[in-house]
Amino acid sequence: AIGANIVSMAAAAVHLSNRIFGSIAEQRVLFIGAGEMIELCAAHFAGCQPRQMTIANRSTERAARLVERFKASALRLDEVSGHLHEYDIVVSCTASPLPVLGLGAVERALKTRRHRPMVMVDLALPRDIEREVGALDDVFLYTLDDLGQIVDSGLESRQAAVLEAEGIIDHGVSHFLHWMEARSSVPTIRALRDAAERMRRHEIEHAGKRLLQGEDPARVLEALSHGLTNKLLHGPLQALNQAEGEERQTLAQFVARLYHLHPGE
């Protein structure tokens, strides 16, 4: 389902971690850096309530704000190698010109972990994690390019879903108004078409926003169809409910004819 796709780098990091571990709730997460990207990632991971979150940064002053916000632990950058084995997920984004995590440090961590898997997300340019780390059997290393491809894929799928939703609405409205097309374009018919078009545009806009926010398209389209149906039927149902006696009977017959209904069958 396209609702599982990702539209941001931070959400992509969470998505990939969930795919590896099934749930982040029992995992320990280490964030290396204290910039905007790390803060965004930490916010996304915090929503999954991981077992532990730790912020490591060269400047403890900058890290302190994130530590307080996310109720996280703190590490100095020079302490990371000695504690790396404690973490299941590592997200790094610093401004360092050289890698902050080398192959040797990761190999030692894996040995201590008895080769339990690690997810490592490198969002830095240049890289924070040495390229060779990605060749280790127990490490799932994702770079900025990897996440960028996931984000692009998610956006393309959502755009396709919006077009699909528009097609469904167009078909429904066209079917509802098809019997009018053979008739003269009298003011009442034009007014009805205009009203239906306004309903169509409103439902498309609402569904499009929900799809772009990552909601399950099946639920969005279900809500879309209910919304359009309710709007199209509101007028006839209201008229029937308000009418009395002979007028109600006449309206009921007209509605049955309009919608090809056979109430007694």
Going residue by residue through the chain, which has 265 residues, state the pLDDT in tens, using 9 for 90 and above: 333 333 477 888 888 898 888 889 999 999 999 998 899 899 999 999 999 999 999 988 888 999 999 999 999 999 999 999 999 999 999 999 999 999 999 999 999 999 899 999 999 999 999 999 999 989 999 998 888 777 666 555 555 555 555 565 566 556 556 655 555 555 676 777 778 888 887 888 777 777 777 777 778 888 888 888 888 888 778 877 888 888 888 878 877 887 777 776 6
Q: Decide if 23 contacts 47 (C-beta within 8 A).
A: no
Q: Kindly report the CATH class assigned to 2-149.
A: alpha beta
Which residues of the chain does CATH 3.40.50.720 include? 2-149
- pTM given for the model: 0.58
- The span from the CA of 5 to the CA of 61, in Å, is 35
